[in-house]
Structure 1
């Protein structure tokens, strides 16, 4: 276990930059989904709220990085935003887009949860106590979103199956 404060600082800053890029990726995944959720208004509403939370998370990360005399990585932000956009686009071609997006969003939220838990460990071990509160707030928001997706998945799946059985359009009008 690294105990050198400089090492922990470097790892922590890298983790914050990674989290910043992941949050940018999350926006590039969620935003296009919202426009295609006419048939699932409750999912669209929750995604809109989480987009707002994510924008706040990015602001908090910007503040944390600035307090450490650094900023997000433009390269990481751009690369992950592009891959997020491509993932959202690839799901939009599938008839079961809502299910694929639900599965991917569930997995993505858990990736973020693990990332923030690791950042909290680095912050604690590195003596960066002032950053614990905003990181915990973000972790709580990610846990809440993951829980919502988990609880909503049965209803989303049943709605998709009913629409499929009716032979109606499974895609939103774009």
Structure 2
């Protein structure tokens, strides 16, 4: 069953469950770059060049997904003085350009393989950052929904935005109820 065919929600949920069985370990990792056909092509080639390094890990399922924040999306995000994410028409060195987010989603079976997977994915993004720097397409934004626990997504929004979010949190949640009761995830404190 393809993922683009029309179907009832119950059938789609059953399909998703079959593709991601309960009990697998997962990590998501991303970073944004200025959209560049040359860089995007290099990312794909590099991923397929190195992915063999983890192919022997039981139940390994490495994915590379491309997401783009388009010019119209960035323009909309720039209205009313911008947004807390730090993504606006001034957010790239080259000005108003779409952003490219290579997202890695990797699942595997055993805890004893965690270190290997984490080292693989960290090395992959270190190489992407170096190449992006060389190609002048580097950007700082990290998309929080798919950021690994090893990344500081909130700092990627910029110091001013982080400070503003902390001020808002202090005003509306002075006892830090939402910070303390929410397990895991990214915190402002």
Query: Shared fold (TM-score greater than 0.5)?
Result: no
- Normalising by structure 2, report the TM-score: 0.30
- Normalising by structure 1, report the TM-score: 0.31
The structure where strand makes up a greater share of residues is 2
The structure where helix makes up a greater share of residues is 1
